[in-house]
A and B are shown apart, each in its own frame.
Chain A
């Protein structure tokens, strides 16, 4: 039984990683949002499985929060934003996608190497997945760096939070409830602010291309 659960968790974790890579390589914003939603759903599933296997009822609650915030609310908000701003298509990246993927692979190796000594210390059944969680965080960070438009950067930021959440679940069966609620609220507030911010960029520069922000620099 526990062997099966562990395999299931590993499967979900690798799905997360593949989704992270997919997000790096995806050019279209609409697909990015879909990928983000899928990542959120995978995260919910993983949290439920870990909660069931270890009999930690509070993980159900955090899975619920994740479902509401990251699978339903935020994708809805993002859809509205891109509809209003009319930026569904083509985004250009600062570094071309194959190079980004290679950097991503290096990051994954680094993350696994880093997580190895920590997972040995952990007693969690999901301990093998810590490396994957860390890799997700780093990959999302990479995505934030390489994207030139504001919306993908916001998605990268959110996906980074997903990775952190998964790391917490896999290493210590989730964070304390208060922290988790706080983070959920933070993410929501963050997305609202970033949404306003995006409208402002748009208004100022007639484009969501953040390279225009360079003009704000003081000489």
Chain B
């Protein structure tokens, strides 16, 4: 079959054709948005739902592509003689599944979310949004450095425009600029990395890079460049500064996509380079990855715990999760370089599992903040509270997201963090005594991070949804609309499914780990039925269904016991009034108050300023601001240096035509002299 007949007959289409169809559909939807620039009804009721349907299509295709053989496609786009190579293998398919799955939910939510008066007209937003989705898909699909970089930059640019949707606000302009700057510095790192990987052959296809044998020193440089480049996009410390600025600035569905999906493309990039394009790994890379990952995770969660802006809090929580993912990758490299392939597969499974569950729960939480933001026009936790009464739908959906995010069973977050800790427990089998001593410390830190994440999530949910409303206007808050509910329900379903069917999902991940480290968990986990036992059933196992039954049973038992032994009458009274009957909303614990112990304990992490009111103030005010050390240690000095250098170059610019002419003249004479020599 050749030529047009292939394209006329959908039965003969391969997976990659369907993926490209979804991408083209997204692009078409985006273009349609340009024609309906200000027609909100069209954009919201037709374009975004259609985009969501494409996401579903992508999700379905990717699910079946994970277990299929790799497929390639060459599109004669781009420069002449330099076509775009695309390849769909298990790793790409896994990330496509995340993109499609999250995009379906977020698009449905966005159909109800976007409205007029947010700076950018809705049609243009639809264009940027769908280009963003398409470019992320193609990043994951790219099979040569050229296509990869083009798509990577398209992704950065389209998301930049989405972040600055409300571009008339100065802080948003700043956030967008910072984001664009770091994204481009990172892209440079990636470009240089590809330059090393092609090993002076001039052939930038990934197939060529796979076949090259690179010296360890060059491979290490390539690895560090890749870590820098992808780390800038993922937000590893100290390249994280754009994240807490850009996420709150962007409209909520965009924050959801950026946090849930775009950060994952960076993880994809690291996996692709380290395990696929670089033929071999060195063991010390794992130490770098572990150090970077752990410091990122700890840093992210500690900062998340003290935030008072709900979207900033989630942004720092994303940094924390990225840290966990990088730690897992480091562990996989460690096991893999010591020849422990099954363990490497376990660590990698944990990474991929966590990538998927983070995508769903963080997407859910971000769209949930969007719903809260639209209902109350508030992002500040100090002005929210008690919303579970006015927005029950959003509150319950968010509760599930929060539980998953805190790593509690029976949701997806628990499984992935449990798998990660399990893989740490096998580190005593490592041949090096130094590593044997180091790894338990790392595991302890991971446990600390998980606990603090739980703490943060209690604060997040408790302050927004529980207690008394802190402002009077909150009583007018309305619940999410129809489309918003659909989107949230889909993401909730993802969180629950990831929690309840770990065995099936790990079987799905199996081809990916087979591809990357040559081993997989499918055989061991499928042997134990519904009980998840990653390595051996004697060592550790987890059955979400059993756990759920246990929780339900103990809950029911407690309820019954209380009913039986207590007198059975229902008494309504104010809880926690401690004998002081005149309570009001101001007396509740606040976000600042809840985070205060963490701020004290981890004081060296922060640079904070506090204004305490004195007893004689007419209008007592308490103000505390927490900023990042890295601004003052790294970014501001760097900015000063760059500014000085720019000033030196500025000396060239005198503003006199005669001087400019003299430059040309001197250049001309110099060139002539050189020619003569």
Residues on A lying within 8 angstroms of B by beta carbon are: 94, 110, 113-114, 117, 138, 141-142, 144-148, 153, 210-211, 213-217
Chain B 635-667: CB-based contact to A (< 8 A → 1; otherwise 0): 000000000000000000111111001101100
Other A-B pairs, 15, CB within 8 Å; known A141-B661, A217-B654:
A110-B672, A114-B672, A114-B675, A117-B676, A138-B668, A141-B664, A141-B668, A145-B658, A145-B665, A146-B658, A210-B656, A210-B658, A213-B655, A214-B655, A217-B653
* CB-based contact B658/A110 at 8 Å: no
* CB-based contact A114/B655 at 8 Å: no
Residues on B lying within 8 angstroms of A by beta carbon are: 653-658, 661-662, 664-665, 668-669, 672, 675-676
Residue of A with least CB distance to B660: A145
Q: Which residues of A contact B668 (CB under 8 A)?
A: 138, 141
* CB-based contact A210/B657 at 8 Å: yes
- State the CA gap A5–B655 with chains docked (Å): 48
Q: What does DSSP make chain B's interface, helix, strand, loop or mixed?
A: helix
- State the CA gap A114–B672 with chains docked (Å): 8
28 CB-based A-B contacts, threshold 8 Å: A94-B658, A110-B669, A110-B672, A113-B676, A114-B672, A114-B675, A114-B676, A117-B676, A138-B668, A138-B669, A141-B661, A141-B664, A142-B665, A144-B661, A145-B658, A145-B665, A146-B658, A147-B658, A153-B657, A210-B656, A210-B657, A210-B658, A211-B656, A213-B656, A214-B654, A214-B655, A217-B653, A217-B654
Residue of A with least CB distance to B661: A145
Q: What does DSSP make chain A's interface, helix, strand, loop or mixed?
A: helix
Nearest Cβ distance between residue B645 and chain A, in whole angstroms?
A: 17
Nearest Cβ distance between residue B92 and chain A, in whole angstroms?
A: 47
Known: A114-B676, A141-B661, A145-B661. A217 touches B655 (CB 8 A): yes
Interface centre among B653, B656, B657 (most CB of A within 10 A): B657
Q: Which residues of B contact A147 (CB under 8 A)?
A: 658
* Interface residue from B657, B672, B675, B676 paired with A213 (Cβ < 8 Å): B657
- State the CA gap A214–B672 with chains docked (Å): 30
Q: Which residues of A contact B665 (CB under 8 A)?
A: 141-142, 145
* Interface residue from B653, B662, B675, B676 paired with A145 (Cβ < 8 Å): B662
Nearest Cβ distance between residue A24 and chain B, in whole angstroms?
A: 14
Q: Which residues of A contact B669 (CB under 8 A)?
A: 110, 138
Q: Which residues of B contact A146 (CB under 8 A)?
A: 658
Q: Which residues of B contact A215 (CB under 8 A)?
A: 655
Nearest Cβ distance between residue A17 and chain B, in whole angstroms?
A: 18
Q: Which residues of A contact B654 (CB under 8 A)?
A: 214, 217
Residue of B with least CB distance to A217: B655
* CB-based contact A216/B657 at 8 Å: no
Q: Which residues of A contact B661 (CB under 8 A)?
A: 141, 144-145
Residue of A with least CB distance to B659: A145
Q: Which residues of A contact B655 (CB under 8 A)?
A: 213-217
Residue of A with least CB distance to B664: A141
Nearest Cβ distance between residue A199 and chain B, in whole angstroms?
A: 17
Q: Which residues of B contact A210 (CB under 8 A)?
A: 656-658
- State the CA gap A34–B676 with chains docked (Å): 35
Q: Which residues of B contact A213 (CB under 8 A)?
A: 655-657
Q: Which residues of B contact A110 (CB under 8 A)?
A: 669, 672
Nearest Cβ distance between residue A132 and chain B, in whole angstroms?
A: 15
Q: Which residues of B contact A113 (CB under 8 A)?
A: 676
